[in-house]
Structure 1
Amino acid sequence: MHIITNETSEKHLHILKDLINKSEKILIAVAFLKESGLNSVKVDLEAALNRGAKVNIYCGLDFYSTEPGTLRKILILFKKCGDGHLYLYKSDRYTFHPKLYCFMKARTAYILIGSANFTHGGFQDNIEISTLEETAIGSDIYNKVNSFFKTIEKHSVEANELEISQYKRKYDII
């Protein structure tokens, strides 16, 4: 296990870029998606998609911190480049607040869990801390993380223009 902070040369951004660039499958669950975060890793995500990586991003809409324009840009990127899916977590009962990144290549998974949202601040400027675990696909920790992603997918809708427009109306009021 490795500890990642933004106070060292191994900021979240450097770790994420490295893992995106070597992964065949990427799963991300975050409370907030901002354009600043997308801009930080867009080139890397595009390259991953173009080489055939599968990317699923699950995001929260609670607190109206996720930017509708960013959701649209991710949809465009996924349509243009390949096998990507953007899911919006929907629940009247629970607040969606994870910061979980899982990267897979061959039989290995790299799991980053901590406090960093998908924002420039989370990736680089804020005081953030996460753990990075390298484990085998099929290990206990991998199976629990994979199960978590399956559970949140059941409570999510795949993003589309209608869903984003409905969210944007509320976002603009707040």
Structure 2
Amino acid sequence: MKLLSNLTKQNHRKRIVELISKSDHIVLCSGWMKRAGLKKILPALENAKQKNNAVITIYSNKKHTDEECIIALNDFRHIVVDDIYSKYLHTKIYYFQAENNFNAIIGSANITHGGLVSNDELSVEISGLIGSKEHQDISSYLEQLEKYA
């Protein structure tokens, strides 16, 4: 387990972009998604999709997702959760898988400029082997997100 903060050189954006570039399965879940934040990671997502043939799923809350983000993510599996029909999506989890390993960043950072770069945000990064207890717990939560699809 590692702590990740925007108060250090290794901010959320840098770590998320680094993990995107190494992964073939990616799940990003952010209650808030703003254009300035998405611009920080979109090139890495596009590159992972093209070069790594990565499977990418993105969840965001309709109420707090910029329309520009919905358009920009048209070529991805982007699930926009409407809280009129379900619970309000407030989760921030970034999941990455490559071969037999996983990394998950769980904390306070949304996909906004502030969340990824400038706000005082704190997250925990968990890593390990696919099939470990930690992986099973995180996978179980990610399966629950599918109810929004």
TM-score class, shorter? over 0.9
Give how far 1:145 is off: 1.4
Question: Where does structure 1 lack aligned partners over 5 or more consecutive residues?
Answer: 79-83, 158-174
Whole-angstrom CA distance in 2 between matches of 1:151 and 1:112? 17
1:118-159 CA-to-partner distances (Å, cap 9, x unmatched) read 1111000001000111111111121121121211211x24xx
The structure that is helix-richer by fraction is 1
Corresponding residue for residue 124 of structure 1: 117
Distance 2:128 2:81 in 1: 27
TM-score by length of 2: 0.93
Shift of 1:66: 1.3
How much does 1:96 deviate? 0.9
Who is 1:42 aligned against?
A: 42
| 1:9-61 C-alpha deviation (Å, 9 max, x unpaired) | 11011101100110011011110111111110111111100020110001112
Kindly report the root-mean-square deviation, in angstroms, between the aligned alpha carbons of the 2 structures. Answer: 1.2
Query: Which residue is equivalent to 2:28?
Result: 28
Q: CA deviation at 1:94?
A: 2.2
Total equivalences in the alignment: 147
Match of 2:68 in 1: 69
Distance (Å, rounded) in 2 between the aligned partners of 1:13 and 1:69:
19
Gap regions ≥5 residues in structure 2:
none
Q: Percent identity?
A: 28
Distance 1:74 1:87 in 2: 10
Compute the TM-score of the two structures, normalised by the length of structure 1.
0.80
Does structure 1 conserve the Cα–Cα contact (< 8 Å) formed by 2:61 and 2:83?
no
Q: CA deviation at 1:95?
A: 1.7
